[in-house]
């Protein structure tokens, strides 16, 4: 089992709806570059109600 950091970007669309994107790059240590645009999934935001 390996541990790694990855970006999970979330935004609240409404009171009961959350949208998120998941990073495509992982790292054994935390780094803010994980949430840079080139490292995020290029698809639309995923929605969770």
Strand-pairing partners, residue 40, are 23
- Write the DSSP assignment of 1-49 as a string of letters: ----B--EEEEEEETTEEEEEEBS--BSS--GGGGSGGGB-SSPPEEE-
Q: What is the pLDDT of residues 2-44, one digit of tens each?
A: 899 999 999 999 999 999 999 999 999 999 999 999 999 888 8
Extents of the domains making up the chain:
8-48
pLDDT band at 46 (very low <50, low <70, confident <90, very high): very high
Collect all residues with Cβ–Cβ distance below 8 Å to 32 and sequence separation of at least 6.
Answer: none
**Given this model, what pLDDT does residue 39 score?**
93
0.85 exceeded by pTM: no
pLDDT at 1 > cutoff 90: no
């Amino acid at each position: 089992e390996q541990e790694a950091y990855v970006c999970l970007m979330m935004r609240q669309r409404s009171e009961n709806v959350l949208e998120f994107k998941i990073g495509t790059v992982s790292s054994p240590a935390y780094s803010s570059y994980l949430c840079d645009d080139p490292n995020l999934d290029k698809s639309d935001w995923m929605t969770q109600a």
